[in-house]
């Protein structure tokens, strides 16, 4: 019987892949492949001002050099603006979206609580219409305060009350670009994703994505949020924390380290093997149950 499993890896081409991105790729790839599932690749290049020229091509070359084999064509979010516009129009028609005139400063001055993932929860200023002379800059989705809960395969049951924890959130930004939350929900549905395996840094976004799935009538995928790699200072590895890029000529040792990070006891001698041999070991020995059920793990990254 053909597996119903469809997973994906969705990097943003804002810089080269680093060890943290490799962990997410390895976790989602092995979860898919060991269940006979497909694994799709999507380049999340929707936030054009943050895109680094050449980074997308570099990501594709790195994944290929590491021995990842994706199914079907790569989906580029920059080619999907019509689909996002259509989803937004559908939400507008349903009365779920409103134009917001607030500037960052106005939100900073009027917000009453912090948002769950940093920043400020939007206080709903423009919810009941704009006062005279005010023009819509961004488009926001209405939320309410019923708990949105889901059971993460690794992190357990989680719940958020969007109205207090986030506020009505932006779907189309003042610069005209579509927000990550909308793009991700639309594309996960478009690609028929059954299982999202990604870093726990995206846990706080998940209830917003589930809310969008409900508003748009999409099926909710299963979620597994892997521990994220942090440096000695407790910061998530990222471009901002100057995470070293993956070494393309050193795929086997990097893969072995990623497996060990995910609780898989890859034998040390595999560091001298070929990437293909590491994958053979990993597919044979992968144990989802061995992945640490925590949101972050400090991990020494040797340059």
Minimum distance from CB of 186 to ligand GLU (Å)?
12
- Sole binder of ligand GLU in the list 5, 6, 7, 10 (CB under 6 A): 10
| Contact flag: residue 189 with ligand GLU (CB under 6 A) | no
CA separation for the pair 82, 269 (Å, rounded):
49
First to last CA, the chain: 45
| Contact flag: residue 184 with ligand GLU (CB under 6 A) | yes
| Contact flag: residue 140 with ligand GLU (CB under 6 A) | no
| Contact flag: residue 44 with ligand GLU (CB under 6 A) | yes
- Sole binder of ligand GLU in the list 102, 166, 183, 202 (CB under 6 A): 202
The two structure tokens encoding residue 10: 């969705």
- The answer to whether the beta carbons of residues 200 and 227 sit under 8 Å apart is yes
Task: Rank residues 80 and 198 by Cβ distance to ligand GLU and give the closer one.
Answer: 198
Task: Rank residues 10 and 88 by Cβ distance to ligand GLU and give the closer one.
Answer: 10
The two structure tokens encoding residue 198: 């990604």
Minimum distance from CB of 198 to ligand GLU (Å)?
4
- Sole binder of ligand GLU in the list 6, 12, 31, 257 (CB under 6 A): 12
| Contact flag: residue 6 with ligand GLU (CB under 6 A) | no
The two structure tokens encoding residue 221: 């995928």
Residues 6 or more apart from 220 whose CB is under 8 A from it? 150, 210, 213, 214
CA separation for the pair 126, 146 (Å, rounded):
21
CA separation for the pair 91, 87 (Å, rounded):
6
| Contact flag: residue 20 with ligand GLU (CB under 6 A) | no
The two structure tokens encoding residue 124: 């709903």
Binding site for ligand GLU (CB under 6 A): 10-12, 44, 184, 198, 202
């Amino acid at each position: 019987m053909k597996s119903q499993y469809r997973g994906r890896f969705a990097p943003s081409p804002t810089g080269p892949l680093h060890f943290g991105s490799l962990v997410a790729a390895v976790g989602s790839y092995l979860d898919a492949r060991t269940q006979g599932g497909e694994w799709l690749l999507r380049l999340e290049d929707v936030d054009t001002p943050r895109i680094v020229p050449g980074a997308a091509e570099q990501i594709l070359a790195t994944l290929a050099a590491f021995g990842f084999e994706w199914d079907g064509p790569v989906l580029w979010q920059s080619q999907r603006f019509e689909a996002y516009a259509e989803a937004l129009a559908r939400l507008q028609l349903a009365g779920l979206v409103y134009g917001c005139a607030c500037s960052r400063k106005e939100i900073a001055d009027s917000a009453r609580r912090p948002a769950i993932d940093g920043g400020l929860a939007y206080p709903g200023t423009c919810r009941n219409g704009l006062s005279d002379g005010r023009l819509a800059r961004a488009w926001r989705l209405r939320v309410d305060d019923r708990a949105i809960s889901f059971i993460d395969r690794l992190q357990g049951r989680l719940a958020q009350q969007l109205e207090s924890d986030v506020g009505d959130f932006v779907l189309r930004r003042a610069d005209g670009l579509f927000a990550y939350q909308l793009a991700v929900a639309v594309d996960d549905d478009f690609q028929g994703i059954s299982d999202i395996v990604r870093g726990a840094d995206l846990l706080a976004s998940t209830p917003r994505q589930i809310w969008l799935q409900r508003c748009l009538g999409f099926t909710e995928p299963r979620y597994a949020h892997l521990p994220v790699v942090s440096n000695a200072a407790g910061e998530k590895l990222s471009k901002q924390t100057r995470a070293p890029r993956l070494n393309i000529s050193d795929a086997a040792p990097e893969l072995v380290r990623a497996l060990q990070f995910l609780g898989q006891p890859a034998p040390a001698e595999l560091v001298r093997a070929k990437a293909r041999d590491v994958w053979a070991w990993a597919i044979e020995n992968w144990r989802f149950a061995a992945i640490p059920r925590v949101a972050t793990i400090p991990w020494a990254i040797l340059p």
